[in-house]
Amino acid sequence: MMKNFLARMCAATACTLMLAGQAVSQGYPVRPITLIVPYAPASAPDLLGRVVAAKLSESLGQSVVVENRVGAAGQIGADAISKAAPDGYTIGVFDGNVYGILPAARPRSGHDPLRDYTLIMNAARLTMFLAVNSSVPANSVQEFIALAKANPGMNYGSAGQLGIHHLSMESFMQMSGIYMNHIPYKGVIQAVPALITGEVSAMFNSLPSLSPHLKSGKIRLLGAGSPQRSPLLPELPTISESGLPGYESLYSMGFAAPAGTPKEIIEQLHAHMTRALQQPDVAEKLAAVGLEPAMNSPTEFRAQIQREQAQYRKLVELTNIRN
């Protein structure tokens, strides 16, 4: 009898929670939404967040306010998202650094991206390109690998330790069997000039950071890190087709909410974000910073994160670059 009573109580509680979630979603949103970006203004994640926030404001009929919470390589902003009330009024940009690189590099931090957040969607991806100083005597990926093997210890630059620029080259070295000396800089704003002057011979970077110097002839691109040729530079071969089959260097970014956010609200946000990202003017604005729309469902986003986490963990272990 007690078991039947408990079963009825559990069923009633589940029903109440379900109806409460539906009630919340039916009136949602009734006040402004905060969209947290864990990085500085003018960064690619910031532009993605602002473009989508503007479209959400139009379609939802409520203001979506972008708030930059910068620091600790994105961890401060990520924590602000996860610790907010799970009511749909705080969401945020959720990128490969937060859900992949940081957990791999800091396994004792207690940060669990799949436990601490409710995923909304992957939204876009950033292709990384292998660039060399124009004085480097290599015009292809294979020629560059041969040069690096003949001259071990050539310098390469990155925008900082354990960032996507750094890990892209570490993966390239692992797969090609070369050794290069890493020189980390304080951001892209310092790293790119080092490539231009020849202080470093090569680096991985996104197209918007490199394109002004391609036109001047100071640097040269050897390959794209995308699985297929980038629509931004369709004439440039991928690194995978240029002698390193399977090589990829993509930086993904999407959106997430605090764990426990009602499913109905997540579905509503996903639908509105998908429509926003399908609009031509949004694609044009994203392309300006090298981003390509790449939408998926929350379930697909979870599977993607699990794959990327495994890749980052393996790379961090192989290179022994935890911090």
**Residue 256 clears pLDDT 80, i.e. is over it:** yes
Q: What's the CATH code, domain 129-242?
A: 3.40.190.10
Confidence at 16, pLDDT banded by 50, 70, 90: very low
219-224 vs 129-133, strand pairing mode = antiparallel
Q: Which two tokens stand for residue 102?
A: 């940081």
- pLDDT for residue 155: 98
Neighbours of 20 (CB within 10 A): 11
pTM of the model: 0.83
Write the pLDDT tens digit of every residue in 55-82: 999 999 999 999 999 988 888 999 999 9
What's the average model confidence in pLDDT over 137-153? 98
Q: What is the third-level CATH fold of 31-125+251-319?
A: D-Maltodextrin-Binding Protein; domain 2 (3.40.190)
31-125+251-319 and 129-242 have identical folds: yes
User: Does position 2 have pLDDT exceeding 50, yes or no?
Assistant: no
At 6 the pLDDT is 44
* 170 closest CA partner among 274, 7, 319: 319
Distances from the Cα of 298 to the Cαs of 16, 19, 246, 251, 264, in angstroms? 24, 22, 26, 18, 12
pLDDT at position 321 is 60
User: What local confidence, expressed as pLDDT, does residue 34 receive?
Assistant: 98
Give residue 236's pLDDT. Answer: 97
Assigned token pair, 243: 């002698």
With contact defined as beta carbons under 8 Å apart, do 224 and 205 qualify? no
Indicate the domain borders of the chain: 31-125+251-319, 129-242
The least confident of 13-22, 71-80, 207-216 is 13-22
Please provide residue 301's backbone torsions phi and psi, each rounded to the nearest 5 degrees.
Answer: -65, -40
pLDDT bracket for residue 274 (50, 70, 90): very high
Q: Is 172's pLDDT higher than 80? A: yes
State the average pLDDT for the chain. 90
Q: How would you list the strands of the sheet with 180-184, edge to edge?
A: 180-184, 154-158, 202-205, 129-133, 219-224
